[in-house]
Amino acid sequence: MIKMSIIYHSETGNTKRMAELIKEGALQAGGVEVHLMPVETLDRQTLEESRVILFGSPTYYGTMSWQMKRCMDTLPVKVEGKLGAPFASAAWPGGGGYELAEMALIQGMLIRGMLVYSGGVVTGRPPTHFGAVSHRAPAGFDADRCRKLGMNLARKGKELFGQQQNVRTPGERS
């Protein structure tokens, strides 16, 4: 059993709902313990033990929210070598900037040495491109995309780390 943490910022519940759906998809894949973590209450020990960490943000002015940026800038654990993916909600699909929010999250993950994965368009439908995106509260296709992202990350996490249990990544603070 590997651990997965889903960190998110949400003021009006849309991104939180995405996180819940991602958890649902991951649990469907099986073999993962999933922790939902609002940016306000990060659990350092669980993050250290998580092999997979997703980051979700509402889109604010075409990028991640400042609350999520602060979270990424001040993350209390080293995440080098962990698997990650972004997700983002927005009010305006096709121009509101949720892919840009995702790309900003991906920048943060890469710079911290994470392995970024979404499953893209090669793991079946619905495609996950950069991660999961949703127009306001996820429903229909947007909800399916969240579940699919969770499933993809759980599967890839087990493939990469399944034999290693929940030991810390080398170099992590104890």
Using rule CB under 6 A, residue 13 touches ligand FMN: yes
> Of 97 and 108, which has the nearer Cβ to ligand FMN?
97
Instruction: Tell me how far, at minimum, the Cβ of 130 lies from ligand FMN, in Å.
Output: 15
Instruction: Please give the residue whose beta carbon sits closest to ligand FMN in the complex.
Output: 96
- CB count, 10 Å around CB of 80? 13
**Among 114, 108, 112, 118, CA closest to 69:** 108
Instruction: Tell me how far, at minimum, the Cβ of 1 lies from ligand FMN, in Å.
Output: 29
User: Whole-angstrom Cα distance, residue 17 to residue 101?
Assistant: 17
Using rule CB under 6 A, residue 70 touches ligand FMN: no
Using rule CB under 6 A, residue 11 touches ligand FMN: yes
Using rule CB under 6 A, residue 167 touches ligand FMN: no
Contacts for 148 with CB less than 8 Å, ≥ 6 apart: 25, 119, 123, 124, 125, 126, 128, 132
Using DSSP's 3-state secondary structure scheme, residue 35 falls into: strand
User: Whole-angstrom Cα distance, residue 45 to residue 61?
Assistant: 33
Using rule CB under 6 A, residue 90 touches ligand FMN: yes
Instruction: Tell me how far, at minimum, the Cβ of 11 lies from ligand FMN, in Å.
Output: 4
Q: Which of 46, 136, 144, 166 binds ligand FMN (CB under 6 A)?
A: 136
- CB count, 10 Å around CB of 23? 21
Residue ranges in contact with ligand FMN by CB under 6 A: 10-16, 58-62, 89-92, 96-97, 136
